[in-house]
């Protein structure tokens, strides 16, 4: 056995029992767009259902990490009368800093979301998000990179949104405990599994 377990192995190191219990986040370098510069993907994944969200940005900053949660992820949970309980990130500067000063840390405190981080140089706990990145590369970015000429991040985002809609609602997921269901189906299933004491505690 090598020292770098696969994302599938890393997934097995975490037990998640309901929607929103643990949400993984990461920043992924997509590439450079002519006339625009570097493009980064802020990726968010509900670890129970594998439901994914993603927003593209031209910077890798705390403000973009906050933006994807505030504008995309939390409204989705709220529309389903649910919430995010814990965020798992690496130790990147866009996610971590002094709790009383860092924009991302402050935002999570404001929303009542616990923040956990993976061990430095040992991000094995984020196997969920690593697997998603591999899927995005294989099924979306590499294909679009060969067939589509983008002139703006907005154009890239439109195509990414279409892919994520397919990924979440139509594509059967073969991950552990998914039983071939779509992430959105599992998301709804996991809503019914949230313990009453957890709902009461944060109500």
Q: How confident is the model at residue 106 (pLDDT cuts 50, 70, 90)?
A: very high
Q: Which CATH number applies to 7-193?
A: 3.30.420.10
| Predicted confidence (pLDDT) at residue 120 exceeds the cutoff of 70 | no
The kind and range of the H/E element at 127 are helix 127-136
Whether the per-residue pLDDT at 51 is higher than 50: the answer is: yes
Where does the pLDDT of residue 198 fall: very low under 50, low under 70, confident under 90, or very high at 90 and above? confident
Q: How many CB atoms lie within 10 A of CB 24?
A: 27
Per residue in 140-167, pLDDT (tens digit) is 999 998 899 999 999 999 999 999 999 9
Could you tell me the pLDDT band of residue 2, with boundaries at 50, 70 and 90? very low
Element (H, E) at 79: helix 74-79
Percent of all residues in the chain with a pLDDT value above 90, rounded to a whole number: 71
Does residue 203 have a pLDDT over 80? no
pLDDT given at position 201: 66
Band the pLDDT of 7: cuts 50, 70, 90: very low
Provide the Cα torsion 146, 144, 94, 109; round to 10°. -170
CA distance readout (Å), 199 to 19, 63, 189, 192: 12, 29, 16, 11
Helix (H) or strand (E) holding 56: strand 52-57
**What is the average pLDDT across 110-118?**
95
Stretch (H or E) spanning 52: strand 52-57
pTM for this entry: 0.88
């Amino acid at each position: 056995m090598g020292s770098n377990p696969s994302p599938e192995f890393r997934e097995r190191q975490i037990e998640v029992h309901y929607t929103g219990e643990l949400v993984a986040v990461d920043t992924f370098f997509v590439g450079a767009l002519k006339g625009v510069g570097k493009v980064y993907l802020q990726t968010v994944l509900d670890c129970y259902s594998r439901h994914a969200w993603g927003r593209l940005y031209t910077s890798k900053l705390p403000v973009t990490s906050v933006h994807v949660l505030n504008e995309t992820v939390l409204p989705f949970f709220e529309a389903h009368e649910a919430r995010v309980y814990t965020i798992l990130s690496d130790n990147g500067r866009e996610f971590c800093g002094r709790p009383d000063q860092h924009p991302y840390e402050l935002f999570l405190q404001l929303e009542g979301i616990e923040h956990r981080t993976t061990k430095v140089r040992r991000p094995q706990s984020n196997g969920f998000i690593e697997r998603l990145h591999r899927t995005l590369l294989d099924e979306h970015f590499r294909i679009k990179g060969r067939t589509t000429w983008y002139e703006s991040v907005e154009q890239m985002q439109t195509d990414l949104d279409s892919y994520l809609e397919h990924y979440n609602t139509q594509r059967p997921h073969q991950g552990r405990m998914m039983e071939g269901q779509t992430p959105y189906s599992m998301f709804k299933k996991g809503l019914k599994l949230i313990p009453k004491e957890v709902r009461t505690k944060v109500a």
